[in-house]
Amino acid sequence: MGIINRSRGRAQPASEYLRSEPAIIARLAEATLGTRSTVDWKGLVANYDRIRDHIERVIPGFEDFNNRIRTDVFYLPNDARDKRQFHTSAGKAKFIASELTQLRVAAGQYLMMTIRSHDQFNTTIYGLNDRYRGVYSGRRVVFMNTDDMEAAGLQQVQLVDLTSHYEDEERVARHFMVAPFEIPRSCTATYFPETNVLVPINSTADRK
């Protein structure tokens, strides 16, 4: 996609102590880097045009960034999309087929996936409603197959704690509401980042 468009906050801050993401990052940089950094962190936070100027200098497609963003949305260059060109040794797109490892769970355990709601972009949550799945005013929800709910003796909206098991390590996320959903048996789904706590720090990808 690579669509760059302007955004502007319209709501009043919930607290005078709230800080913008650039301000938080700048303060962290100042606190950790100190005199080792030559970046004018305060100056970047004081005027976001300066941040865009830096982006323009290092990332292709952001030429005249400040002027373009004030007039309309624009697209970053994408040779595969725009020209059907692929920068590989063969000049074609490359696909990698990975073997799937079949995961087996014990009786009474489930495989869990994490998903985003409708009012969410990555880990940024804009609201507590998910019109995709009929969930409103909350996100601490675990979606389950109705047959699994019946077998476990669980009822809709019942509160449960979630426990992950990885290499004999147990991690717990508490107070999630059970919600019936069309999902395969022995599988569940929750929103992230609410259940990130269930992922052990040493559970990593096999390759980059």
Neighbours of 139 (CB within 10 A): 21
Q: Name the 3-class secondary structure at 22.
A: helix
pLDDT for the residue numbered 208: 65
Residues 46 and 116 in one domain: no
> For residue 7, what pLDDT band results from cuts at 50, 70 and 90?
confident
Judged against a pLDDT cut of 90, whether residue 166 lies above it is answered with no
CA dihedral 9, 11, 14, 20 (to 10 degrees): 10
pLDDT tens by residue, 28-60: 999 999 999 999 999 999 999 999 999 999 999
The token pair that represents 82 in the structure block: 């725009």
For position 125, which CATH number holds?
Answer: 2.40.40.20
- Domain hosting 191: range is 111-198
Length reported for the chain: 208
**Which two three-digit tokens encode residue 108?**
């009474």
Continuous segment of H or E residues that includes residue 164: strand 159-166
Q: How many domains does one find in the chain?
A: 2
pLDDT in the model for residue 182:
96
Question: Last residue of some domain: 64, 82, 100?
Answer: 82
In this model, does residue 84 exceed pLDDT 90?
Answer: yes
Supply the pTM of this predicted model.
0.67
Arithmetic mean of pLDDT, 69-93: 93
| Averaged pLDDT for residues 113-141 | 92
Q: Are residues 76 and 119 in the same domain?
A: no
pLDDT band of residue 169 (cuts 50, 70, 90) is confident
DSSP 99-115: PPPPP---TT--EEEEE
